[in-house]
């Protein structure tokens, strides 16, 4: 539904997060991603 090729979900979510932070004038955000098999990953981003 997001419009990305298989394997590019992480990049798509990171770019969307960075764009949203810039559009809202915010400095920090968190992106999360399900990687299957009951596992997940998260990353905190701070714009400098």
Query: Is the pLDDT confidence value at 2 over 70?
Result: no
Whether residue 1 lies inside any domain: the answer is: no
Whether residue 4 lies inside any domain: the answer is: no
Query: Is the pLDDT confidence value at 24 over 90?
Result: yes
**Number of C-alpha atoms within 13 angstroms, CB side, residue 35?**
7
Q: Which structural domain range is residue 13 located in?
A: 9-46
Whether residue 3 lies inside any domain: the answer is: no
Domain count, the chain: 1
pTM for this model (two decimals): 0.78
How many whole angstroms separate alpha carbon 12 and alpha carbon 17? Answer: 9
How many whole angstroms separate alpha carbon 44 and alpha carbon 34? Answer: 15
Query: What is the average per-residue pLDDT within 32-41?
Result: 86
The mean pLDDT of the chain is 88
């Amino acid at each position: 539904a997001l419009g990305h090729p298989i394997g590019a979900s992480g990049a798509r979510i990171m770019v969307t997060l960075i764009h949203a932070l810039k559009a809202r004038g915010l400095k920090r955000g968190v992106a999360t991603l399900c990687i299957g098999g009951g596992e997940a990953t998260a990353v905190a981003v701070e714009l400098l």
